[in-house]
Structure 1
Amino acid sequence: MTESALIDALRSGTPDAYEQLYHRYWKLLYKIAYSRVPDEDAAKDIVQNVLISIWQNRKSLRVRTTLEQFLRGAVKLQTLNHFRSERVKQHVIDLAMAQMELVVEPESDPLSRHVLEQSLDIALHGMPENMKQSFLLRCENRSIKEIAEKLGLAEQTVSNHISEAVRRLRQKLTKHHQGELLLGLSLFLSLVHH
């Protein structure tokens, strides 16, 4: 299948086209992602997000360069989003730690920042991408309207994503932790939710 035939087949939703795209470009895109983010799982997630995004937006797919150049650009953009998400996650942890300090005496520090980071990673990992991005953008103090515009979603959908993300985080974190950490995180999550 030629490149232009592949793009046309993708636009028309031919399942075989997605398979072709995957087999032709996955290794190359993974190498590019891994060279920028030396973490195998993160690099795989980046490539997966790019390919899924192309399939989900296939009807409006516009490739003005070669397909390879287009995909390289998409991986670069997704890598930047990954680093932005990591930065926001650190901001979330900083805010949660600050909330904990309001309710816990600093010298009693029952759990380390590392444990909090692991817990947040685990809780965020299983979320659909739009839900995770809605939550992380809300943690940056973005309004529901701003998030909806940025992600191309309805405001109600963003609001639902944030509520569900907070519910899932509370549920997962409650299973793994108790006491002061849970109290600090609950305070933080209630701030995010409003």
Structure 2
Amino acid sequence: MREIETRLLEQIKKGNEMAFVEVYDKYWKQLFNSGYKRFQKKEIVEGLVQEVFVEMWQKRASLMVHTSLGAYLFTALKYKVINQMKSQMVKEKYVAFVTSRKSNFGSEVEEKIFYKELDEAYKQEIANLPSQAKRVYELKNTEGLSYVEISQEMGISVSTVEKHMIKALKILRQNLRNYCV
């Protein structure tokens, strides 16, 4: 590191705001231009450069610069830009997912109608289950009982409870398969 940068860095570590302003003035435009080449959104790059300087000031007491102050700042900005790009990609994928889901389901009114039909069919299929399978299914899913608690409630073995649950689920899956998207 050059001698001037070393002195500026030492002054910043001690909380000297004027030394910080000097570094800010020297590097802000260079950092902005570098960031803008990679991520061409002015407001976002301005924010990222600002974050680099804010974090530098906040961490000033423990700041460790091994090469040069400029290299430190450019590296910090590079990682901010990379993280921003990753974040942007995640947002874009989410928007694409939501958009594709909407086009698959149609309007909100259609979704409500579909849900109502599904709910009615589900209730009807539960009502049509064989009595033991229906009772096991309701105790498990409505009352939240465990298989052991259901076996005690109904006076049957745990393996019989499992068999009734398997039977109920198989019937429901088969009879509600037309509602799967």
**TM-score where L is the length of structure 2:** 0.52
Confirm or deny that 1:87 pairs with 2:50: no
AA of the residue aligned to 2:84: H
Q: CA deviation at 1:53?
A: 1.0
Identical-residue share of aligned pairs (%): 28
Confirm or deny that 1:106 pairs with 2:98: no
- In the alignment, the residues of structure 2 paired with residue 6 and residue 89 of structure 1 have an alpha-carbon distance, to the nearest angstrom, of 39
For these two proteins, the number of residue pairs brought into alignment is 107
AA of the residue aligned to 2:46: K
The corresponding residue for 1:32 is: 34
Q: 1:58 aligns with which of 57, 60, 63?
A: 60
- In the alignment, the residues of structure 1 paired with residue 98 and residue 90 of structure 2 have an alpha-carbon distance, to the nearest angstrom, of 12
The corresponding residue for 1:2 is: 4
AA of the residue aligned to 1:13: G
Change (3 A) 1:60 1:92: farther
The corresponding residue for 1:46 is: 48
Match of 1:2, SS state, is: helix
Quick one: higher RCO (CA 8 Å, sep 6+), 1 or 2? Answer: 1
Larger radius of gyration: 2
The corresponding residue for 1:164 is: none
- In the alignment, the residues of structure 2 paired with residue 14 and residue 94 of structure 1 have an alpha-carbon distance, to the nearest angstrom, of 48
- C-alpha RMSD of matched pairs (Å): 2.6
- Unaligned stretches of 5+ in structure 1? 111-194
AA of the residue aligned to 2:106: E
After superposing the two structures, state which structure 1 stretch, 44-53 or 88-97, moved more: 88-97
- In the alignment, the residues of structure 2 paired with residue 13 and residue 22 of structure 1 have an alpha-carbon distance, to the nearest angstrom, of 14
Q: CA deviation at 1:91?
A: 4.2
- In the alignment, the residues of structure 2 paired with residue 50 and residue 4 of structure 1 have an alpha-carbon distance, to the nearest angstrom, of 19
Q: CA deviation at 1:96?
A: 5.3
4+ residue runs over 3 A deviation: 91-98
AA of the residue aligned to 1:62: M
Match of 1:64, SS state, is: coil
TM-superposition CA deviations, 1:140-191 (whole Å, max 9, x none): xxxxxxxxxxxxxxxxxxxxxxxxxxxxxxxxxxxxxxxxxxxxxxxxxxxx
**TM-score where L is the length of structure 1:** 0.49
